[in-house]
Structure 1
């Protein structure tokens, strides 16, 4: 089977790899360079905590693949299962965490509840005012700058064609397949997989499938290195968006942080978002609540990127509702990084076998036409 994959971020490159591994003849077409869109702007969080319940089977599938990534892809993508801790500062958030932990237990997610003494003993320096925390020990982080290119190179070794800096001019459904005309030539295939991220809705609309999506950019930053090592990814349980910060420390000592500040507007043409410097002070106040030591550290860089946010914050994933042979996997609304390998594996299974062991029903594209 011939498959064209549109989009060279983590979703597209992972899909290309798993399709090629199942024997498909794959052509991946990317308008820029591999992994330079939403993937490289990502925080790098490998978390299951806080996900919509219907995403958890996919998140579990993906976590298993993250654990195999170095052996599977032949290079270290800096996946580290150092755990994910979410600090809690008020009774309402504690109740929210306990309700979520109870709801997710049947879905295979077991969260530890930590009290203040356990937090300070296991993770010194974090959230001195926290009244509790949740901890998921198997989660962690990976390097967004490495993963998409690692999948692309591994797919290429399996025979996939990776075409970069190719603007797509026209997509034609021929009745028995697809023809994609681009600045790097024309490509034909039996199936088309749309993994174009924030641009995915434009492709879907060409086939009569409308998706309510907004292009936004996260506010991200990184500090100079700190000598002390903070192993887990750190977040917060809160209903207040201004407090919703998160951070992780990379092995070189720098603290990567995000959250709290409003996501900036992003234009699909040319597809870039610029961090708002006015949001940095708000972010640092929120992050300092999680890690007070950050107040004495210099911020050396800030950035943003173009992500697609769907109205219900769930992705579009699965078969087209209008066109045989067309498949979608886009709109992961700022929380797709952990899901990436699982998305690629699930889409390859669906395309090549006409079935998928992971339930995808809540992500179908026609849900917006049914008032859901």
Structure 2
């Protein structure tokens, strides 16, 4: 007799796994299916930055809760709370910094503005060309390459079925639920959660739903081991730089600079046109990087919709189907919004509101 699961989760990243764990806690029998390995999509290839200073104002309550989740995971995910500075090098950038960080502070983030003297004392390796700077003691980072390992162990501990390298190629839907075509044979479930990140659009299309999902091709670079240069997470007022030095001396540089490619075509491509200015901005902020050797640059797909807020709720037009994804800065928020989604599927009132996938996707600037 074919086993019928309470819910099948398509996508084994942070959000899909966190949701599966939550519904299992509530008594459901989930199964997680991923076309690759757990946590190896956007969840595993980002720079690992956990900064409240780069989150959108409306998402600040979720980011604060997400920070607590990462701190609770601790060493298992390489969590470090270092504090972080965001820098402005011109008067225009300083205006942006003051405006944006003030709003984020009002939304609950412990962000303050610091003097040049305070900054130089804390981070003497930074350039002295800083016009303004903000500081958040909660900022830090985790090791994104540990994401899959962490959630694989959590699923195993809870006896939750999961299958890696198991793409879903077709979905049939009737009054009894869903039947998924997979390499391991048909998988049957009463409910379905789409948590496939940058691959959400083609997966939703299997159910006849067109989600307005786009994909950014973010680039990250890592240097060889360096002597101590910086002890906190460093960002830039424009959002075009994130940088931190890890315990082994390597420096990770990101900031959303774009490579080329699409999720459907496979891995994205790094381009010199964007990597070079990203590294130049990093070196401008931290002159000691001039002696660094870049070991590797890579890309990761980040899903978003036109208003850059999450998809989190019922999948429009398909009974007992749900969608979760497209969170800008989803690495920080992922563990928490996955829990919220699990509560929603369990018919519990989520602690914070979700984001209706059937909404009107107007662009928003904040």
TM-score, L = length of structure 1: 0.90
Q: Secondary structure in 1 aligned to 2:323?
A: strand
Preserved CA contact (<8 Å) 1:57 1:359:
no
CA offsets, 1:73-129, max 9 Å, x none? xx6211111112111112222222222233233421121101110100011112321
State yes or no: 1:15 paired with 2:9.
no
Which aligned pairs between 1:221-240 and structure 2 lie closer than 5 A? 221-228=221-228, 230-238=230-238
Residue pair 2:77, 2:147 contacting (<8 A) in 1 also = yes
* Aligned residue number for residue 301 of structure 2: 306
CA distance in 1, matches of 2:278, 2:317: 43
Contact 2:259 2:274 in 1 (8 A): no
Question: 1:177-256, aligned counterparts within 5 Å?
Answer: 177-228=177-228, 230-238=230-238, 244-256=240-252
Quickly say closer, same or farther: Cα 1:207–1:57, change in 2 above 3 A: farther
CA RMSD of aligned residues (A): 2.1
Inter-partner Cα distance in structure 2 for 1:278 and 1:101: 30
Give the whole-Å Cα distance in 1 for the aligned partners of 2:265 and 2:29.
Answer: 30
Query: What's the CA shift for 1:198?
Result: 0.7
- Which runs of 5 or more structure 1 residues have no equivalent in the other structure? none
2:8 alignment partner, SS class? strand
Please give the secondary structure, in 2, of the residue aligned with 1:356: coil
Q: 1:336 aligns with which of 319, 330, 335?
A: 330
C-alpha change, 1:233 and 1:286, in structure 2 (3 Å) is same
Q: Given the alignment of the two structures, is residue 174 of structure 1 paired with residue 174 of structure 2, yes or no?
A: yes
Q: Is 1:24 the counterpart of 2:20 in the alignment?
A: no
* Local SS of the residue matching 1:2: strand
Q: CA deviation at 1:364?
A: 1.8
On the 8 A contact 1:192/1:326 being kept in 2, the answer is: yes
Stretches of structure 2 lacking an aligned partner (at least 5 in a row): none
- Specify the alignment match of 1:266 in structure 2: 261
CA contact (8 A) 1:316 1:331 kept: yes
SS of 1:366's partner is: coil
State the match for 1:134 in structure 2: 134
Give the total of aligned pairs.
360
Query: What's the secondary structure of 1:171's corresponding residue?
Result: strand
Partner-residue secondary structure (3-state), 1:76: helix
1:93 and 2:97 are equivalent in the alignment: no
SS of 2:283's equivalent in the other structure is helix
Q: Distance in 1 between matches of 2:7 and 2:194?
A: 11
d(CA) in 1 for partners of 2:187, 2:131: 57
Provide closer, same or farther for how the CA distance between residues 371 and 232 of structure 1 changes in structure 2, counting only shifts above 3 A. Answer: closer
